């Protein structure tokens, strides 16, 4: 009756299936820099410049090594993004990114 969420660690995504095992969609991530990350960059202009000229910075948006998925009573989907030391948060039914909590470095 409900959806099944599978953390696909090796392929850097969360797959979503219906109750009969049919593939519905995948979540690959859509993160932005947290307010704490922005504050750190504001305090260190050299770091901001280095980030702006770094190649491949876009990939930080995406999941990297998702290890677990949890759905709370408010129908929020929490994805543990292990390689990036963060949690990405989505609505349960519509994989719409709400934000993230940073647990590590930039």
Q: For the residues of 34-52, what is the DSSP string, one character each?
A: -HHHHHHHHH-HHHHHHHH
Question: What is the per-residue pLDDT for 12?
Answer: 94
Q: Is the pLDDT of residue 105 over 70?
A: no
Question: What is the per-residue pLDDT for 99?
Answer: 56
Triad 50, 80, 92: Cα angle to 5°: 115
Question: What is the per-residue pLDDT for 104?
Answer: 46
List the domain boundaries for the chain.
4-102
Report the percentage of the chain scoring pLDDT > 90.
27
Report the percentage of the chain scoring pLDDT > 70.
83
Q: For the residues of 70-84, what is the DSSP string, one character each?
A: EE-TT-EEEEEEGGG
Q: State mean pLDDT over 2-6.
A: 88
Q: Is the pLDDT of residue 76 over 80?
A: yes
Tokens representing residue 9 in the block: 């660690």
- Mean predicted lDDT score pLDDT of the chain: 81
Q: Give this prediction's pTM.
A: 0.70
CATH of domain 4-102: 2.40.10
Q: State mean pLDDT over 46-69.
A: 81
Tokens representing residue 71 in the block: 């759905």
H/E stretch holding 102:
strand 97-102
Smallest CA-to-CA distance from 16 within 74, 72, 93 is with 93
């Amino acid at each position: 009756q409900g959806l099944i969420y599978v953390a696909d660690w090796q392929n850097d995504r969360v797959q979503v299936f219906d109750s009969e095992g049919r593939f519905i969609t995948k979540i690959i991530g859509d993160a932005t820099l947290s307010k704490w990350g922005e504050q750190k960059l504001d305090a260190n202009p050299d770091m901001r410049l280095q980030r702006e000229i770094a190649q491949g910075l876009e990939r930080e948006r995406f999941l990297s090594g998702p290890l677990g998925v949890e759905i709370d009573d408010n129908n929020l989907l929490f994805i543990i993004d292990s390689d990036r030391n963060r949690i990405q948060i989505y609505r349960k039914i519509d994989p719409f990114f709400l934000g993230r909590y940073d647990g590590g470095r930039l």
